[in-house]
Amino acid sequence: MEEKYSYEKIQEMADNIKSRTSQRPKLGIICGSGLGGLADLLTNSEEMEYTSIPGFPVSTVKGHGGKLVFGKLEGVECICMKGRFHFYEGYPIWKCAAPVQVMKLLGVKGLIVTNAAGGISSKLKLGDLMLITDHINLPGVTGNNPLRGPNDERFGPRFPSTNAVYSKSFQNIFKKSAEDQGLLPIIKEGTYLMSSGPTYESPAELNWFKTIGADAVGMSTVPETVVASWCGMVVLGISLITNICILDVESTEEPTAEEVYETAKMRSKNLQNIVRLTEKSAVEQNVWNI
Ligand SMILES: O=P(O)(O)O[C@@H]1C[C@H](O)[C@@H](CO)O1
């Protein structure tokens, strides 16, 4: 089994990055499938390929780039992950979230995590943006938690709480920003369940997820959020509902990756505009105590 990165190994990656850019990001953004356009929000941008950072994982999925983008958003220095790491790609789950630890050592205080997700709840429509209010860490509760293994208190405690990991004030700002753009009707709230993938879920699984309180399902986000919260970051999680889950086993419809990317493309600009406004207000209100 691959050994978890030590504090020193994460520090080496952060030092490597710091030696190559003068930018010192305070906000991190993780782009979900088809949402790499969020990186276009950054001005004065500089890019760093994952492959150029010794020890950094490399992404293998269509719709995901493989680079860090540094730049300013509404006057604040940001780091954007264009391409994330999924458990289904074969990485240990802690490794999917290790970039968040690197961000922590770079000085990041707030994290916006985005994803493409399937809508389970009937209140969700195609193209909705669901503010994640809570999550079900299915891999975590069945033994695959990113914090399993040795704990380094310099990052966070051995037994962190996972209550209130998604910041209410950050969510309120996001809602207000959407309202200001006339986009409130597509903003919803709910619980995101992480399933390991790469198979889309069967109708029986989806019906089970519904009974345990999941509103949307995806294959990412939770490991990054758990680690960010453990490290003391303020987190905003957003799921773009790219497909409506098929709960009826008699249905002849099927989810496809193409549908996911098409919907992501359709909403990408809306999400960018809301994130820009959210960032502006978050800075004004000092949501993450910079
Ligand atoms: O990185 P995210 O969670 O946005 O990507 C989702 C999960 C799979 O990578 C892909 C499935 O369509 O989209």
Domains defined for the chain, CATH in brackets: 25-284 (3.40.50.1580)
Residue by residue, DSSP assigns 48-104 as EEGGGSTT------TT---EEEEEEETTEEEEEEES---GGGT--HHHHHHHHHHHH
Residue 97 has phi, psi (to 5 degrees) of -100, -5
**Average pLDDT over every residue of 167-184:** 94
Q: Give ligand 1 pocket residues (Cβ under 6 A).
A: 32-33, 61, 84, 86, 115-116, 197, 218-220, 257, 260
> Looking at the chain, how many residues does it have?
290
> What is the number of the ligand 1 atom nearest to the C-alpha of 35?
4
Residue-wise pLDDT tens digits, 106-123: 999 999 999 999 999 999
- CA–centroid distance, 195 to ligand 1, in Å, is 11
Residue nearest to atom 5 of ligand 1 (CA): 33
> What is the number of the ligand 1 atom nearest to the C-alpha of 33?
4
Of the candidates 278, 193, 177, 170, which has an alpha carbon nearest to the alpha carbon of residue 239?
193
Residue-wise pLDDT tens digits, 181-228: 999 999 999 999 999 999 999 999 999 999 999 999 999 999 999 999
The answer to ipTM > 0.95 is: yes
Query: Whole-prediction pTM value?
Result: 0.95
- CA–centroid distance, 285 to ligand 1, in Å, is 32
Whether residue 91 is predicted with pLDDT greater than 80 in this model: the reply is yes
Identify residue 144 by its one-letter amino acid code. N
- CA–centroid distance, 154 to ligand 1, in Å, is 31
- CA–centroid distance, 117 to ligand 1, in Å, is 7
- CA–centroid distance, 62 to ligand 1, in Å, is 10
Residue-wise pLDDT tens digits, 39-86: 988 999 999 999 999 999 877 665 555 999 999 998 889 999 999 999
